[in-house]
Chain A
Amino acid sequence: MNLMEKLEILTDAAKYDVACTSSGVNRPGMPGKLGNAVKAGICHSFAADGRCISLLKVLMSNDCAFDCSYCVNRVSQDVKRASFTPEELCRLTIEFYRRNYIEGLFLSSAVVKNPDYTCELMLQTLRMLREKENFWGYVHVKAIPGADPVLTEKLGFYADRMSVNIELPSQKSLKLLAPQKSKEKILAPMGQIRDGIKENATDIVRYKAAPRFVPAGQSTQMIIGATPESDWQILNLTEGLYKKYSLKRVFFSAYMPVVEHRNLPAKTTPPPLLREHRLYQADWLLRFYGFEAREILDDDHPDFDPALDPKCNWAVHHMECFPIEVNRAPYEMLLRVPGIGVKSAMRIRSARRCAQLDFDGLKKLGVVLKRARYFITCKGKSISPLPMDNPAVIAGAIRERGFSQTPIGAPEQLSLFDPTPRDKVQCLTGQI
């Protein structure tokens, strides 16, 4: 099989993986080495689906020995199999990188023979890339659950970021759909990487030349919509992962039905993109807005409102907290006002030290008054056109308009990642 065919097969098999960011680490160039890494990450192209292409994202091999039912590469599926040799993959990475096509390599793999053997192959590739080719760019590698911890650790010293896919949001679903995997097998490397990063941080304090272990941190992703978990369960799990495993990011991937299986949604089911989008919005609230998962959803409201983003949803259910006076309210409350983002909240905080703010001033600071007006006062005045004692009315007013006509997959639904001129550089990777 020629390289072109391999590349096509192994790209196709890797593309449902969502994370492609090259962010999290600053590594200045070094004379004699090819490349560097910048903290915010750099996108190099955008595919027809509008997603950023930053890394060469491929599988080492799709020749899998496992049989996860949601996966096209499972052993019982009849697909073309291909594997890169470490030399081929190394060459591709270097040649693409030199031409400024990519920021680096994102390497993951199906389980070839067994987890250890797979890990060895990946290790060979990375070692060649770093030591023989002097590659100094970004590398994201996926740990293989069930592999010898010694191998996982070695991978970590060549990589900038590591991830272990949690795959499905519950143990039960895993058992049902990925019989060879288990929560324990997935969480073991995750814990190992977390501890490795911690330990490494103290080593680096002690002696500067200590090799860096996964300097850009670890992330994970899970498939949404293949199994019956509620949004509440998923968000709760997400919060737990951030807390327990100090993850940098949790990614969600709307399930694209690629195989027919009795335990899976029918092949005609569209991927739940809106749900995925709501989860990212909620994830944002957890990471940057000081929310806790149980404030966003709970047992009585286990799923997102399709027409209202989670922040607005929280606000209309807590009208007793509003309106707040912009000139006095604590920063944490400003953050909770629909229409006020992290940036505008910070600007308000610094601007109000010098002068009392009015509505005109707020607009200049980037506040979206169309939404915020129901929740704030300025110098005691309100410009809400509606009485504020009826949450249902306000919910109706800030509902995402024309939502029902919007076909799934329309650009608005990814607006979280749309660049505004000012935020372009920081936000390209969907990561601040």
Chain B
Amino acid sequence: MIMQIIYRYDGSFPGFLCCVAQCFFDKSLPAGIEPLDEPQATLFPLREVETDPALAARLERSITGRISRQAWGMVQQGFLTCMEEKEMRLLRFILLGYKVGPQVVRLSTNRDVHAMDKALLYLKNEAHYHVEFLRFTDYGEFLGAVITPNNTVLPLIAPHFCERFNTENFMIYEKTHQMGFLHQRGGRREFFQADSIQFPELLQEEKGFRALWRAYYETAAVEGRVNPKLRRGHMPMRYWPNMTEFQKD
């Protein structure tokens, strides 16, 4: 049964899990689930679902126990994707999982499972693009990078950069989702929220290395083989504006 009601939550993952719990209490599906900061564009009545970390934790145990660890992983990562109507799809996925058990992850003929598979692949690929194409700028005290992915890739790529650049202080800011990650030499690391970030001026030395990199990039192409289509295929133009080789200081 579908209720003529929209859940609104704080946009966090635990908040979403509480919406799932709410749906159990109501014993029916809501017409939609939206984050609070979404502009209100519906005539349906709204219900604000409060975020209760203890309830969210219970849901985690329940999903891993009664469906599977893998299904839980898909829900977690699914929440990071930019899939349309993400919350409702995840909710229906969870409900289906309770019905059919662990095999839910393989039901790719189901509309929701199929949509999730696609969205998760996109997330994974976009995360990989950022491992490749993210560019740091050296601000003296720390390395800084700005990215603008469609999916929330930061939690997926942060471990890679922590391992690789354990000797550096660095910060990655995901502008699209106003979320940042900070790593300090020696181990301290944290995610944070910020509406915007003001980076310092470029240092002279930094300008020098940027210019050297651009020169390298330009020179590395073999003239007789210029192939714009192939380049775009490997490196979508969407990511170019954040890449040093395409910027001007």
Contact = CB atoms under 8 A, between A and B. Distances in A.
Contacts of B164: 29, 34-36
Contact of B143 (A3, A36, A99, A422): A99
Interface in B163-184: 163-168
A50 B227 contact: yes
B167 A100 contact: no
B219 A12 contact: yes
A421 interface: yes
Nearest to B108: A364
Contacts of A95: 138, 209
A360 interface: no
Q: Is the interface of B mostly helix, strand, loop or mixed?
A: helix
A42 B131 contact: yes
Contacts, number: 147
Given A92-B212, A98-B168, A409-B224, A50 B230 contact: yes
Chain A: number of interface residues, binned into ranges = 35 or more
A7 B215 CA distance: 8
Given A99-B213, A99-B244, A47 B224 contact: no
B228 interface: yes
B222 A256 contact: yes
Nearest to B220: A47
B230 A414 contact: yes
Interface centre among A43, A49, A52, A92 (most CB of B within 10 A): A49
B233 interface: yes
B133 A44 contact: yes
B225 interface: yes
B167 A47 contact: no
B219 A15 contact: yes
A93 to B, nearest CB: 11
B1 interface: no
Interface string B117-135: 0000100110010011111
B243 interface: yes
B219 A48 contact: no
Contacts of A4: 211-212, 215
B211 A419 contact: no
Contacts of A414: 227, 230
Contact of B224 (A45, A98, A256, A411): A256
Interface in A71-125: 92, 95-96, 98-101
Interface in B212-249: 212-213, 215-217, 219-222, 224-231, 233-235, 243-245
A345 to B, nearest CB: 21
A29 B229 CA distance: 35
A16 to B, nearest CB: 7
11 contacts: A29-B166, A31-B166, A32-B167, A33-B167, A42-B131, A43-B132, A49-B227, A51-B221, A56-B216, A421-B125, A424-B125
Interface of B: 121, 124-125, 128, 131-138, 143, 145, 161, 163-168, 209, 211-213, 215-217, 219-222, 224-231, 233-235, 243-245
What 3 A-B pairs have minimum CB-CB distances, sorted nearest first?
A50-B230, A47-B221, A29-B163
Given A7-B212, A98-B165, 4 more contacts: A34-B165, A49-B222, A100-B136, A425-B124
